[in-house]
Amino acid sequence: MNRRSLLGVMGAAPLAAGGLLGAAGTASAAGPAGRARIPAGLRPGGQFDRLVAQQAAKDQFSGTVLLANRGRTVLSRSYGMADKERSIRNGPDTIFSVGSITKVFTGVAVAQLAEAGKIAYDGRLGAYLDGFPTEVADEITVHQLLTHTSGMGDYRQDVPGYEQAEATWTSAEQVMDGTLASIRKTKLHFTPGTGHLYSNSAYVTLGAIVAKVSGMPYFDYVRRHIFAAAGMKASDFYTQPQWQKDPRIARPYATTPSGQRENQVGERAFIGLPDGGAFANAPDLLRFTAALNGNKLVGRAYTELITSPKVPGGTLPGKDGKPGKSLFEGYGPDSTFIGGRRFFGHNGGSPGVGADWYVYPHSEWTTVILCNYDAQTSAPIESLLEEQLIVLE
């Protein structure tokens, strides 16, 4: 069970090209001398590879998976259609919405500015942004915004009429300013620091802090200081018109009440936000891992700060012979502990979007799953991958 499933437990159409016609992508198994042995289950043709193919053949997965060990691709597979209407298949370089993986980029942006002495993790919200009520501005810290302990919730659920207003915005500035204005009007769910609630509003607020402190729009900051710095050439905050037209970007096929999958690009905002608006392909997320682990985005001390656990986010007892799981919030990436092992990363999901990026420090694996079906369709793939990697030395 992945992070998305864990949070759920805790309360906080036929394939157009056929099941196996979505391009095999690249695949390799043997590494240079001295590198760790690749388990059979993760090699091309192994248990994981077969499961992904089976799920795609049943039209239960559409997207790309990439497994890498010590920076070297071990397995890359792509299945399904990026655009069914134009018969464009998903491939290894197809760009997907990565949903809440965007929060990791926001966390790195905060860390860069903290390293530069422009943001303090214990700094109060009111020191960076105005317009919030005193009880919010003077109490919430940057640390609490990052770790989902601020008391803020989700602007889409907390603000009546938000989606109707969002549909009228036609620029990045309108989307950011309009959303932040809505967040300023919402009440907290609890006193800051006294509870835990996964918060999209908190990460939009962090994005506004990044913009204010850096003196440039949030989107431009991330493009320059994270995407470009990490060599992520395909990654961006694409607008809805770009999503509609660009053949490189996978359309989001959400499941309707009748069980059909429907392209819902037209239902999306003009541009996504710091909580979930970025796009990337699988190789770019591997480049991001290399840049982060190589201390190219921030120095070693701040890399360790970003990727280490901070606040307990919940536990799930083991069952059926499987070990329990504990989740901790970090400063962008979350950490999961299973059987004494830890991995960090993030996932994302919305109608027609599923994304997972995780790093296993003990065995030096990076895994990427990008999907343009509803997130839950890739759950069996995520679960098997997690089981296989957590036991590796």
pLDDT at 17: 29
Q: What is the pLDDT of residue 392?
A: 62
Do residues 243 and 268 lie in contact, with contact meaning Cβ atoms separated by under 8 Å? yes
Here the tokens at position 43 are 């090699």
**Per-residue pLDDT tens over the stretch 248-289:** 999 999 999 999 999 999 999 999 999 999 999 999 999 999
- Percent of the chain residues topping a pLDDT of 70: 90
Listed range (8-17, 71-80, 236-245, 287-296) with the worst mean pLDDT: 8-17
Kindly tell me if the per-residue pLDDT of 142 is higher than 60.
Answer: yes
Residues 75 and 165 in one domain: no
3-state helix, strand, coil in the chain (%, to 5): 35, 20, 45
Answer whether residue 353 is part of any domain: yes
Average pLDDT over residues 57-79: 97
Q: Yes or no: say if 330 and 307 are a contact pair by the CB < 8 Å rule.
A: yes
State the residue range of the domain holding 332: 3-102+227-390
Q: Are β-strands 96-97 and 279-280 bridged in parallel, bridged antiparallel, or unpaired?
A: antiparallel
* Residues 29-39, mean pLDDT to the nearest whole number: 52
Of 129-133, 241-245, 320-324, the one with minimum mean pLDDT is 320-324
Among the listed residues 11, 3, 31, the one whose alpha carbon sits nearest the alpha carbon of residue 355: 3
pLDDT at position 28 is 33
Q: Look at residue 222 and tell me if it is in a domain.
A: no
326-343 mean pLDDT: 94
Residue 250: inside a domain, yes or no?
A: yes
Looking at 167, 192, 216, which one is the last position of a domain? 216
Enclosing H/E stretch for 350: strand 341-350
CATH number of the structural domain spanning residue 118: 3.40.710.10
Residues 385 and 244 in one domain: yes
- Residue 256 inside a domain? The answer is yes
Both 235 and 334 in one domain: the answer is: yes
pLDDT of 31 strictly over 90: no
| 186 conformational bin, left if phi > 0, alpha if psi -120 to 50, beta if neither | beta
**What is the number of alpha carbons within 13 Å of residue 268 lying toward its C-beta?**
27
Residue 332 pLDDT > 50, yes or no? yes
Q: How many helices (H) and strands (E) does the chain have?
A: 14, 14
CB 389 within 8 A of CB 363: yes
Same domain, 73 and 62: yes
Residues 367 and 272 in one domain: yes
Instruction: Lowest mean pLDDT of 14-18, 105-109, 200-204, 320-324, name the range.
Output: 14-18
Within this chain, do residues 357 and 262 fall inside the same structural domain, yes or no? yes
Element (H, E) at 315: strand 311-316
pTM of the prediction? 0.91
Residue with token string 């990460």: 203
94/59 same-domain check: yes
Q: Which residues contact 393 (CB under 8 A, 6 or more apart)?
A: 362, 363
Residue 229 phi, psi dihedral angles, 5° rounding? -65, -30
Of 216, 237, 257, the position where a domain reaches its end is 216
Q: At which of 216, 243, 265 does a domain end?
A: 216
- For 183-193, how does the pLDDT look when each residue is reduced to its tens digit (9 = 90+)? 999 999 999 99
Q: How far apart are CA 354 and CA 374, in angstroms?
A: 6
Is 115 part of a structural domain of the chain?
Answer: yes
Q: Are residues 212 and 267 in the same domain?
A: no
Q: Is residue 190 part of a domain?
A: yes
What string of H, E and C letters represents the secondary structure of 132-195?
CCHHHHCCCEHHHHHCCCCCCCCHHHHCCCHHHHHCCCCCHHHHHHHHHHHHHHCCCCCCCCCC
DSSP designation for 209: H
Would residue 221 count as lying in a domain?
no
Query: Do residues 201 and 70 both lie within one domain?
Result: no
Same domain, 52 and 110: no
- The domain tally of the chain equals 2
Residue 170 covered by a domain: yes
Verify that 151 and 239 share a domain, yes or no: no
Q: What pLDDT, on the 0 to 100 scale, is given for residue 323?
A: 82
> What is the Cβ-side half-sphere exposure of residue 87, based on CA atoms within 13 angstroms?
3
My answer on whether 95 and 109 are in the same domain is: no
